[in-house]
Amino acid sequence: MDAITTLLQNYDVPAAFWMTVKLTVLSAIGALVLGTVVAVCRVSPVGVLRGFGTAYVTLVRNTPLTLIVFFCAFGLLNTLNLSLASAGSPTEVIDNNFRYGVVALSVYHASFVAEALRSGINTVPQGQAEAARAIGLGFGASLREVILPQAFRGAVAPLGNTLIALTKNTTVVATIGVAELAYLMRGMIEFNPSLLYAIFLLVAACFVLLTLPTGLLFTALSRRLVVQR
């Protein structure tokens, strides 16, 4: 217990924790939006869009996250100089790393969101789409009003799993210098090797604090939101 107190006194654990939360929340929003677009592409009547959706999922889902993160940091930022932060600002480097971290996490997890959503769409009976079309709703309106609301409800549980995976995967962006929990952990281990187990315990507890409620929440939601047929 003393060890934990020492660590909490010497390191800004709440700041790292907050960084992990920010990465998780922003990437989750990004992944949800992008993943929805990809899922809609996969079920669209336009062949080109379906092809794009399938290609996206196949390509991104089978690529290691680390590779995507490095591609963003070294490929897009350092080599192509595509900056996401205002030039010359004192926090330019930190901002760029953080924003590219969010981009990489969003892009990667969007493929999982798309797959979860597609499985949700598959739970919606064909007749729902036919009824929507029969009252004169177009493709977009049918999706918006009838298919997607039911698909999201059917996909709550797998979306929860994706969110938990995303929370833990934020540790990968420590590699490009985003000061989240894993980054902090590396620093702590380097300078306090004798407190190794306490450090592991502390960081693990921080993640459990995030993922456990997420899991409980999504299980409860999936029960509450289930569509009665």
Partner 1 sequence: MADREQAEHGATTDVHPGSAPQAVGPPLLVLRGVDKHFGELHVLQDVDLTVGKGEVVVVLGPSGSGKSTLCRVINRLETIGSGSITIDGQELPEEGKGLAQLRADVGMVFQSFNLFAHKTVLENVTLGPMKVRKVPASQARERARELLRRVGVESQADKYPAQLSGGQQQRVAIARALAMEPKIILFDEPTSALDPEMVTEVLDVMVSLARAGMTMVVVTHEMGFARRAANRVVFMADGKVVEEGDPESFFTAPRTARAQDFLSKILTH
Chain positions contacting partner 1, by CB under 8 A: 45, 125, 127-128, 130-138, 141, 145-146, 149-150, 153, 227-229
* Residue number with CB closer to partner 1 (55 or 226): 226
Nearer to partner 1, 61 or 133 (CB): 133
Residue 125 CB, shortest distance to partner 1, in Å, is 8
**In the complex, least distance from residue 104 CB atom to partner 1, rounded to whole angstroms:** 34
Nearer to partner 1, 80 or 134 (CB): 134
Distance of CA 162 to the CA centre of its chain: 7
Nearest alpha carbon to residue 227 among 139, 148, 150, 117: 150
Nearer to partner 1, 29 or 227 (CB): 227
Contact 31, 105 (CB under 8 A): yes
Minimal distance, residue 144 CB to partner 1, in Å: 9
Q: Is 95 exposed, middle or buried (0-12, 13-18, 19+ CB in 10 A)?
A: middle
Report the distance separating Cα 60 and Cα 191, nearest Å: 37
Distances (CA, A) of 75 to 12, 64, 69, 103, 225: 31, 15, 9, 13, 42
Nearer to partner 1, 73 or 124 (CB): 124
Residue placing its CB nearer to partner 1 in the complex, 146 or 163? 146
Written as six digits, the tokens of 128 are 């729902």
The vertex-140 CA angle with 135 and 142, nearest 5°, equals 35
Please list the alpha-helical segments (H only) found in the chain: 2-10, 13-43, 47-61, 65-70, 92-122, 126-134, 139-142, 148-154, 156-169, 181-191, 196-224
Residue 225 Cβ, how far from partner 1 at the closest point, in Å?
9
The rounded distance, in Å, linking the Cα atoms of 219 and 143 is 25
Query: Minimum Å distance from CB 142 to partner 1?
Result: 9
Rounded least distance, CB 40 to partner 1, Å: 17
